[in-house]
Structure 1
Amino acid sequence: MSTADGDEPFEGDDRQYSPTRIEGWLQEVNGPGRVQPAQLSRAQLAGLSPRELLRHNDRRQVWHANIGPIQTPQLLTLHEDLAEIVESNRHDGDKTKPAALVDAYPGLGKSTAVRDYGRSFYRQQVALRGETTPDGHRRVPVIYIALSGNTQIRGLNAAICRFYGLPTSGDADTLGERAVDAVLSLKTSAIIVDDVHFLAGSQSNSVRMANQLKYLSNVFPVTLIYVGVGVQRRRILREGLSQEEALLDQFGRRTTPLTLLPFQVEDETGRQEWHVLLKTIERQLVLADKYPGMLAHDLSDYLYARSTGHFASLMALINRGCLRAIRNGRERLDVDVMNQVKNDVAAEEARQELAAAIEAGLLTSRPTAGTVLRRPA
């Protein structure tokens, strides 16, 4: 069906799916990479028809919203640590496979980083062993589930069944057996359990959940990769003196804690890493008036103060800034544009102290060594 002006409809490149369902996860794992929109000059933008400009801007908006994952040193270290755990877990079915826990502050991109590793491992396994199992089932080496508030044992088992597209009727034991059958049939070797901090409730519930996590590691012949916030602080991995804490420690003995750190600029190494990150992002921006050093020099301190070194906060700022720069015709990012952009509450609350330190010359995010790109005069 054509539009009123005779052009074909334009759907855009939005990809709406849930990675907690097998169809969505397969789209994330196997979906084609996005193609960066053309970098047009102001004269070229002016030469577009109104319809062409709408389409170009739509492509730019979805592109800027989906930049990444970026291979930062933090992400690469996490991937190496996960690979060491997952890919060494070649134990037979009668042995419990050690688990991994990625425990970090919110807004650091830990879920994205873990899913990125899961995607890579999934594709590696399919390339090595084939898309189907010896029994003719689809091979699903990795699955991804996310928990919700106050998740109970039945809900945890149901989330696994829901991912596979299995019925979610029945009690916790029935759902557990159903999930195990799917894991075995589809040759799943790793399960990513996101937002695992939702398992921590009352003390009695924590004990039941500790038993459930032990059950999962005993019954599922997979590596469990937990992702959460403040899990160790809530004593899930700490040895205690009470019987309940001892139960939790059984889980801790089988789990290796990992983390993802925010960017820091207290030393030259940290400043160089921040600089490289901004240069990498800068190259991927599609704005008519962008220039070398727009982010990596001119906005370096500003972006560090406003994001506090948290990757998710940084990318939200840049994405929204690009949208505003496109809509108001500015076609570049600068302090005037960025001051109009709203960011998350946590970043804004921590911003003032960092900004004051930078303003007083007590802190900078700019490297002191090496060549720094600057805007041409």
Structure 2
Amino acid sequence: MTHKYNGPSFLPGPPVDRTTSEGWQRWCKTRKAFVPAPVLTAEQYARKSPRQQRLYNLHRLATHSSLPIEATAMSEHVARAVLARVEDGAFSHKAGTRGGVMVNGDGAQGKTETVCEALAIFEETWLNLNNYMNPDAMPGTRDLVAPVAYVRCPVRATPISTCQRILDFYGEDYKGMRLEDLVRTVKTAIVDHATKALVIDDITRLKLHREADQDVLDLIREMMSMPVTLILVGVGIPTSGLLREGRRDPRTHEWIYEPIKDRGRSPNDHAASQHERRFQVVDLDPFRYSTAQDMAGWTAHLRGLEAHLRLLNDPDGMLTGGDTPEYLFHRTGGVVGVLEKLIQHGCRRAIEDRSERLTKDLLNQFTVTPGDMPDLDAESGEQPNIPAHKPTSRKQPKGRNTVFDDDGPAAAGEAG
């Protein structure tokens, strides 16, 4: 009798696609299931067999590639705003339009993960309250209950392709449909699947060229009339045309919109003004490093990351000691996504060269590039501003590095 070999526990399973109902629900259930590598001292590591060491190195690699999203004061502000709007809409017994949220920020700030985590918490609560059933189900309606629907705008998105992405989430057939039919089918699917929150990520991929902006604003207006809280996530939302042209108050960090002019008015101006009244715009900002409070917040974030690293030599203070916090801020601009990639690269190299510790000399050997974040569309402004850095030369270890080599399935039996 043969047995299927499942491999070590840290191997990833099938890819999770949150843009389908099945994928979203699987992500909600498994998002905290990964077990990081155990913390070992250099002495404990040395007592392992070569095969066990190789497996542990691979487990550490998986750990550093799966660093959890550390909550920040900025992300908690966004999460509270999203949860408040969704809960207000979901628990309201009134008919009519629900207020929406626009989550704005530069690329790699963690907007998507912050919103998804907040909505996963909402979905768990909502399903539990309703015994995992649709409380408004009618005979003959669909069985699928999807309190949250998450979609991403395609690159060079249009109203038609955006509607198609929403229907893809539910697995609906839309072949041959015109825009009017697509919008109507979207509205029906949202009601039949008991969806309370609809996330449209990368919303600023919708380009508001003059001949098409009315269709875009009409689509947003149609969505606003649905019994669902609409959450739009994107880069540069206040200046994208989804709202009237805005500027940010440097003192309050709030967005201010100029009044509509009587002359030269676009037919969309009133629609944009309507959006302003119905959407709360919240920003997910990078860390700053200008005041004592800013520095303390940045250092606390680094300390949280430090606890998840699995290097063998004096891990305490690797990211927070001396002038390292200032150095890391200079290298990343306070952008959490850039910081995460820098730390991942550094940890891998520290294992490869057996130094087992992050230092400025080691981190200076490479830089983070846009290629490290391939899912962010540069044309839509999603790529973050990565501080320039010229890598220093790398000290090559003698011979071929074998720390990540594995001799095959037999090694799994010695992974203890």
Unaligned runs of 5+ in 2: 245-258, 371-383, 391-416
Farther-moved stretch of structure 1 (332-341 vs 301-310): 332-341
Question: For the structure 1 residues 8 and 310, does the alpha-carbon distance in structure 2 shift closer, same or farther, using more than 3 Å as the test?
Answer: closer
Which deviations, in whole Å up to 9, do the C-alpha atoms of 1:24-48 show, x marking residues without a partner? Answer: 2112211143222111222332333
The partner residue of 2:227 within 221, 224, 230 is 221
Question: For the structure 1 residues 322 and 2, does the alpha-carbon distance in structure 2 shift closer, same or farther, using more than 3 Å as the test?
Answer: farther
Does residue 248 (structure 1) correspond to residue 248 (structure 2)? The answer is: no
Amino acid at match of 1:327: E
Q: Structure 2 CA distance, aligned partners of 1:290 and 1:168?
A: 57
What residue is the counterpart of 1:322 in the other structure?
347
Q: 1:174-193 maps to which residues of 2 (within 5 A)?
A: 174-193=181-200
The partner residue of 2:146 within 137, 140, 150 is 140
Q: Contact 2:10–2:34 at 8 Å: present in 1 too? A: no
Which deviations, in whole Å up to 9, do the C-alpha atoms of 1:173-205 show, x marking residues without a partner? Answer: 333333323222221100111000011231221
- The SS at the match of 2:321 is helix
Q: Contact 2:20–2:168 at 8 Å: present in 1 too? A: yes
1:247 to partner: Cα distance: 2.7
Q: Structure 2 CA distance, aligned partners of 1:79 and 1:165?
A: 28
Which deviations, in whole Å up to 9, do the C-alpha atoms of 1:79-128 show, x marking residues without a partner? Answer: 11112222122445730111110011112111111111111111111122
Q: 1:266-285 maps to which residues of 2 (within 5 A)?
A: 266-285=290-309
What residue is the counterpart of 2:41 in the other structure?
41
Q: Structure 2 CA distance, aligned partners of 1:199 and 1:288?
A: 47
Identity percentage of aligned residues: 24
Amino acid at match of 1:333: L
Unaligned runs of 5+ in 1: 353-377
Count of aligned pairs between the two proteins? 348
- The SS at the match of 2:280 is strand
Farther-moved stretch of structure 1 (172-181 vs 104-113): 172-181
- The SS at the match of 1:88 is helix
Question: For the structure 1 residues 185 and 244, does the alpha-carbon distance in structure 2 shift closer, same or farther, using more than 3 Å as the test?
Answer: closer
1:350 to partner: Cα distance: 5.5
Q: Structure 1 CA distance, aligned partners of 2:116 and 2:6?
A: 36
What residue is the counterpart of 1:14 in the other structure?
12
Q: Structure 1 CA distance, aligned partners of 2:106 and 2:386?
A: 16
Q: Structure 1 CA distance, aligned partners of 2:152 and 2:6?
A: 38
Amino acid at match of 1:228: G
Q: What TM-score comes out, normalization by structure 2 length? A: 0.78
Q: Structure 1 CA distance, aligned partners of 2:69 and 2:127?
A: 22
Q: Structure 1 CA distance, aligned partners of 2:196 and 2:243?
A: 23
Does residue 297 (structure 1) correspond to residue 333 (structure 2)? The answer is: no
The Cα RMSD (Å) is 2.3
1:351 to partner: Cα distance: 6.5
Which deviations, in whole Å up to 9, do the C-alpha atoms of 1:120-170 show, x marking residues without a partner? Answer: 111111122222224482432111100012211221111111111222313
Q: Structure 1 CA distance, aligned partners of 2:351 and 2:197?
A: 42
What residue is the counterpart of 2:167 in the other structure?
161
Q: Structure 2 CA distance, aligned partners of 1:23 and 1:167?
A: 16
Q: Contact 2:41–2:313 at 8 Å: present in 1 too? A: yes
* Structure with more relative contact order (C-alpha pairs < 8 Å, separation 6 or more): 2
- The SS at the match of 2:223 is helix
Q: Structure 1 CA distance, aligned partners of 2:314 and 2:125?
A: 37
Q: What TM-score comes out, normalization by structure 1 length? A: 0.86
Q: 1:67-216 maps to which residues of 2 (within 5 A)?
A: 67-89=67-89, 90-92=91-93, 94-134=95-135, 135=137, 137-171=143-177, 172-216=179-223
Amino acid at match of 2:16: Y
Q: Structure 2 CA distance, aligned partners of 1:116 and 1:8?
A: 29
Q: Contact 1:78–1:259 at 8 Å: present in 2 too? A: yes
